């Protein structure tokens, strides 16, 4: 029986050329697999037909939009996953899902090898291959662009020579990855970090300089998951899509950042994530109302480590699973409503309410109705500052006290 390779297929130039390239280099038949994670653009049935026209013996298409929103975007939301505290994990959370479908396709079509179109410079090669090792350690992995020296020039030459049904151009300036959680753009003139992004970089967001009339939205959460928008019940996928539309109309979620890649390279990326950024802002504010102080302080540390693990391709790692359990526990009382105003590139929280709120008006108010006994504060401060007071006295004794001039 002829060996088979399952290729993660995007429908673009590199993976279209990779079908024939892999066959010639290895003698294996290629099964192309495309996964819909809400990336929009071309119809996946068109992409499936293109894969077959490019020489794939089978073409497998998976509609994973609901699965992606439920099992990958929502954990990222509950973790407030922002790499470098700035942008949501647009590509990083899609790769483990794609690999899961790759492994399933490999079993279904009797393949012993999977393949991806990543380069040797990026993070995605690590994410694909570590996830494959974690889910199906018996599968081998090949990367044509990295391992078989498939440069863009060679890809264009190969496509033209073999009359492949794929547009080829040396002038396409950007490398783009997108899904329902956001959009990542790199390469081309963006590699000069002094260059300002041009209007054609953006697709998910409108120019925030000229916004429409301010849009007020109420997002309802249950245990850290959005379940309604303006009182209308939504699934996680619908919540993301609706906030992409509404926040995107106000230019919310544009991010221009030089980031630290896993391989040690600093890379300039442009991100668009209107729905993700608006939902994370709302979720963070609801946590401020409902999560106990020390738990929240520690969660912020966990969030950073969780985000780093996911960015670094460790979605299926034991530590990430353990952190998932902690984060899940913190969401027990993260239920309620957040009111936001979307306008001019900003999502501004203007109201919060929750049956599980830890905010007590009687304790917080300085006006009539104050239930806080201020006489307790003096004793609290004495005890709280006791250790520092003792250390300061010792410093004075040995001539190391603060110089008060």
pLDDT at 141: 95
Q: Model-level pTM? A: 0.94
| Closest alpha carbon to 186 in 263, 94, 267 | 267
Structure tokens that stand for 355 in this block: 């049956």
In this structure, is residue 158 part of a structural domain? yes
Confirm whether 72 is domain-assigned. Answer: yes
Would the CA dihedral through 314, 8, 190, 188 be positive or negative? positive
- For residue 360, say whether it is annotated as part of any ligand binding site: no
Contacts of 237 (CB under 8 A, 6+ apart): 38, 65, 66, 68, 69, 70, 180
Tell whether 306 is covered by a domain.
no
User: Known binder of ligand: residue 328?
Assistant: no
What's the pLDDT at 364? 82
Residue 158 has a pLDDT of 82
* End residue of a domain, out of 127, 152, 172: 172
Domain closes at, from 139, 156, 172? 172
pLDDT > 70 in the chain, percent:
98
Shared-domain flag, residues 184 and 264: yes
- Domain CATH number, residue 216: 3.90.1260.10
Catalytic residue among 95, 246, 254, 268: 95
Sequence-ordered strand ranges (E) for 14-66: 29-36, 58-63
Count the helix, strand and coil residues of the chain and give each as a percent rounded to the nearest 5.
45, 20, 35
Catalytic (active site) residue 14: yes
Question: Is the residue at 61 inside a domain?
Answer: yes
Position 44 in a domain: yes
CA distances from 271 to 124, 181, 274, 314 (A): 16, 11, 10, 22
Whether 8 has a binding-site annotation, put simply, is: yes
Q: Are residues 201 and 241 in the same domain?
A: yes
Q: Per-residue pLDDT for the chain (405 aa), expressed as one digit of tens each?
A: 689 999 999 888 889 989 998 988 899 999 999 999 999 877 888 889 999 999 999 998 899 999 999 999 999 999 999 999 999 999 999 999 999 999 999 999 999 999 999 988 889 999 999 999 999 999 999 998 888 777 778 878 888 888 888 765 565 567 889 999 999 998 888 999 999 999 999 999 999 999 999 999 999 999 999 999 999 999 999 999 999 999 999 999 999 999 999 989 999 999 999 999 999 999 999 999 999 999 999 999 999 999 999 999 999 999 999 999 999 999 999 999 999 999 999 999 999 999 999 999 888 878 887 888 888 989 999 999 999 999 999 999 998 988 887
**Residue 75 domain-assigned (yes or no):** yes
Q: Do 168 and 37 share a structural domain?
A: yes
Own/partner long-range contacts of 158-161 (Cβ < 8 Å, ≥24 apart): 158/17, 158/20, 158/21, 159/13, 159/16, 159/17
pLDDT at site 168:
58
Instruction: Looking at the structure, tell me whether residues 54 and 142 fall in a common domain.
Output: yes
* Residues 48, 104 share a domain: yes
Choose the final residue of a domain: 119, 152, 172.
172
Whether 161 and 22 map to the same domain: the answer is yes
Nearest one of 253, 321, 227 to 88, comparing CA atoms: 253
pLDDT of residue 172: 59
Residue closest to 6 by CA, chosen among 152, 125, 141: 141
Structural domain including 215 reads: 176-291+333-353
72 annotated as a binding-site residue: no
For the chain, what is the total number of helices (H) and then of strands (E)?
15, 16
225-229, strands of its sheet edge to edge: 232-233, 225-229, 215-222, 336-343, 346-353
Residue 305 assigned to a binding site: no
In a shared domain, residues 51 and 127 = yes
Task: Confirm whether residue 15 is marked as ligand binding.
Answer: yes
Consult the annotation and say whether 117 binds a ligand.
Answer: yes
For residue 218, list its beta bridge partners. Answer: 339
Question: Cα separation of 381 and 359, whole Å?
Answer: 22
16 assigned to a ligand binding site? yes
Determine contact, residues 7/31, Cβ cutoff 8 Å. yes
Pair 245, 158 in one domain: no
Select which of 175, 317, 354, 357 is catalytic: 175
Residues 103 and 167 in one domain: yes
3-class DSSP assignment, residue 363: helix
Q: Is 405 annotated as a binding residue?
A: no
373 is known as an active-site residue: no
163 a catalytic residue: no
Q: Give the CB-side neighbour count of residue 237, counting CA atoms within 13 A.
A: 14
Active-site annotation holds for 175: yes
Residue 351's pLDDT is what?
98
- Annotated catalytic residue: which of 36, 124, 177, 312? 124
pLDDT at 179: 96
Per annotation, catalytic residue among 4, 14, 48, 183: 14
275 shares its domain with 144:
no
The CA-based diameter of the chain, rounded to the nearest angstrom, is 88
Residues 54 and 135 in one domain: yes
Q: CATH number for the domain including 154?
A: 3.40.50.620
Domain count, the chain: 3
Pick from 105, 117, 103, 114: nearest CA to 13: 117
Q: Kindly give, in sequence order, each residue whose CB lies less than 8 Å from that of residue 221, ignoring residues fewer than 6 positions away.
A: 227, 282, 283, 286, 334, 335, 336, 337, 338
Q: Strands, E, within 10-121: which ranges?
A: 29-36, 58-63, 82-83, 87-88, 113-115
How far apart, in whole angstroms, are the C-alpha atoms of residue 106 and residue 103? 5
Question: How many CB atoms sit inside 10 A of residue 378's CB?
Answer: 8
Q: How far apart are CA 254 and CA 155, in angstroms?
A: 32
Nearest to 263 by CA among 70, 82, 121, 405: 121
């Amino acid at each position: 029986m002829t060996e088979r390779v399952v290729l993660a297929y995007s429908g673009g130039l590199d993976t279209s050329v990779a079908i024939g390239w892999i066959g010639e280099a290895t003698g294996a038949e290629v099964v192309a697999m495309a996964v819909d994670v809400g990336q929009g653009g071309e119809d996946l049935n068109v992409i499936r037909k293109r894969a077959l026209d490019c020489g794939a013996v089978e073409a497998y298409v998976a509609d994973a939009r609901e699965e992606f929103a439920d099992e990958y975007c929502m954990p990222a939301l509950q973790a407030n996953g922002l790499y470098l505290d700035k942008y949501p994990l647009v590509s990083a959370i899609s790769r483990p899902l794609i690999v899961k479908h790759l492994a399933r396709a490999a079993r279904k079509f009797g393949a012993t090898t999977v393949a991806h179109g990543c380069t040797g410079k990026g993070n995605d090669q690590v994410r694909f291959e570590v996830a494959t090792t974690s889910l199906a350690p018996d599968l081998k992995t090949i990367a044509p662009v990295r391992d078989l020296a498939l440069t863009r020039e060679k890809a264009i030459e190969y496509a033209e020579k073999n009359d492949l049904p794929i547009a080829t151009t040396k002038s396409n300036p950007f490398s783009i990855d997108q899904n329902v959680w956001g959009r990542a753009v790199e390469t081309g003139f963006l590699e000069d970090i002094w260059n300002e992004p041009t209007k054609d970089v953006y697709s998910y967001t409108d120019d925030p300089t000229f916004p429409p009339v301010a849009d007020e939205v109420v997002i309802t959460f249950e245990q850290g998951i959005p379940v309604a928008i303006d009182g209308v019940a939504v699934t996680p996928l619908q919540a993301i899509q609706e906030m992409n539309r509404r926040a995107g109309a106000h230019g919310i979620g544009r991010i221009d950042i030089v980031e630290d890649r896993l391989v040690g390279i600093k890379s300039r990326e442009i991100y668009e994530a209107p729905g993700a950024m608006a939902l994370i802002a709302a979720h963070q504010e609801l946590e401020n109302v409902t999560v106990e102080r020390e738990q929240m302080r520690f969660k912020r540390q966990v969030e950073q480590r969780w985000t780093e693990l996911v960015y670094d391709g460790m979605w299926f790692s034991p530590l990430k699973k353990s952190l998932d359990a902690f984060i899940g526990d913190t969401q027990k009382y993260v239920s309620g409503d957040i009111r936001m105003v979307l306008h001019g590139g900003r999502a501004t929280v203007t109201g919060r309410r929750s049956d599980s709120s830890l905010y007590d008006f009687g304790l917080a108010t300085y006006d009539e109705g104050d239930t806080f006994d201020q006489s307790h504060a003096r004793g609290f401060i004495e005890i709280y500052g006791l250790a520092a007071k003792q250390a300061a006295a010792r410093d004075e004794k040995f001539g190391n006290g603060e110089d008060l001039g």
